[in-house]
Amino acid sequence: MNAAAELVVAIDGPGGVGKTTVSRGVARALGYQSLDTGAFYRAAALLVRLHRTDPDDEAAVAAVLSGADLDYRDGVMLVEGVDVSTAIRTESITAASSRLARLPGLRLVLVERQRAWVAVRGGRAVVEGRDIGTVVFPGAAVKVYLDAPPDVRARRRAGQTSTRLPEVATQLGRRDRLDSTRATSPLAPAQDAVAIDTHALTADQVIARVLDLCRGRGIEPAGHPA
Ligand code: DC
């Protein structure tokens, strides 16, 4: 296991639950960096499409990703040094990333990249995804599982895109199913994760709760003595 994981704050949960907003807010307060692992799966979907690789050919997909230069800096996903942050947010890449994420061979490659990203930052990272507390950093100092009812998440997501609510709700439902029923690293709370229902909370309230959990593990906001 990765010794640096003792400082990691893991934030898991389904789509539209507010993971990115919360992760960034917690990271800012701690003086940490935040990593959106979903951006890696989205970048994988983009690369597979650009290379015209068969998305069901696991070995070919893993080979494309093994050789790829992927990085994530200040909220920006870089593939071969190019900012793909907008290109990976289309509906079609969103759906493709969820399908690709079921491939164990691809997950192995991406999980290693995510661990390396955190290791070079001395383990000081807030990492968001679906399998962070269960698989990527099972030794994380703090594990949070954010959740909210599907209709609440769909309304939040619809507010961030130009897609209409019924369409967003259908897409989110499909992704929820794919993400939580796949055989490898399905979306699920770690046994030792603290579940937070974000339904009736503001982002700031959720961030404050996570920071409380961090304090409980000796991880203090920047500027406060540890
Ligand atoms: O968080 P997101 O919606 O950007 O993630 C896109 C897809 O990537 C999501 O449907 C499932 C997959 N994913 C995953 O399987 N494991 C992660 N740690 C992060 C994302």
Burial 18-53 (b: 16+ CB within 10 A, else e): bbbbbbbbbbebbebbbbbbbbbbbbbbbbbeeeeb
Taking the centre of ligand 1 as the mean of its atom positions, its distance from the CA of residue 204, in whole angstroms, is 23
Q: How confident is the model at residue 3 (pLDDT cuts 50, 70, 90)?
A: low
Residue nearest to atom 7 of ligand 1 (CA): 98
Q: How confident is the model at residue 2 (pLDDT cuts 50, 70, 90)?
A: low
Residue nearest to atom 10 of ligand 1 (CA): 98
pLDDT tens per residue, range 153-201: 999 988 888 889 999 999 999 999 999 999 999 999 999 999 999 999 9
Residue 221 near residue 211, CB atoms below 8 Å: yes
With a cut of 80, say whether residue 5 has pLDDT above it: no
Taking the centre of ligand 1 as the mean of its atom positions, its distance from the CA of residue 56, in whole angstroms, is 17
Residue nearest to atom 13 of ligand 1 (CA): 38
pLDDT tens per residue, range 20-38: 999 999 999 999 999 999 9
- Lining ligand 1 with CB less than 6 A are 15, 37-38, 41-42, 97-98, 101, 129-131, 175, 179
Q: Write phi, then psi, for 189 (nearest 5 degrees).
A: -70, 140
Best mutation site among 98, 176, 181 for ligand 1, i.e. most ligand atoms within 8 A of its Cβ?
98
- Give residue 221's pLDDT: 85
Taking the centre of ligand 1 as the mean of its atom positions, its distance from the CA of residue 205, in whole angstroms, is 24
Residue 116 near residue 71, CB atoms below 8 Å: no
Average pLDDT, the chain: 94
State pTM to two decimals: 0.94
Best mutation site among 12, 19, 37 for ligand 1, i.e. most ligand atoms within 8 A of its Cβ?
37
Q: Write phi, then psi, for 36 (nearest 5 degrees).
A: -95, 100
- DSSP-assigned letters across all residues of 155-195: HHHHHHSSS-HHHHHHHHHHHHHHHHH-SSS-S---TTPEE
The residue among 139, 152, 133 whose CA lies nearest residue 1 is 139
Question: In the chain, what is the straight-line distance between the N-terminal and C-terminal CA atoms, in Å?
Answer: 24
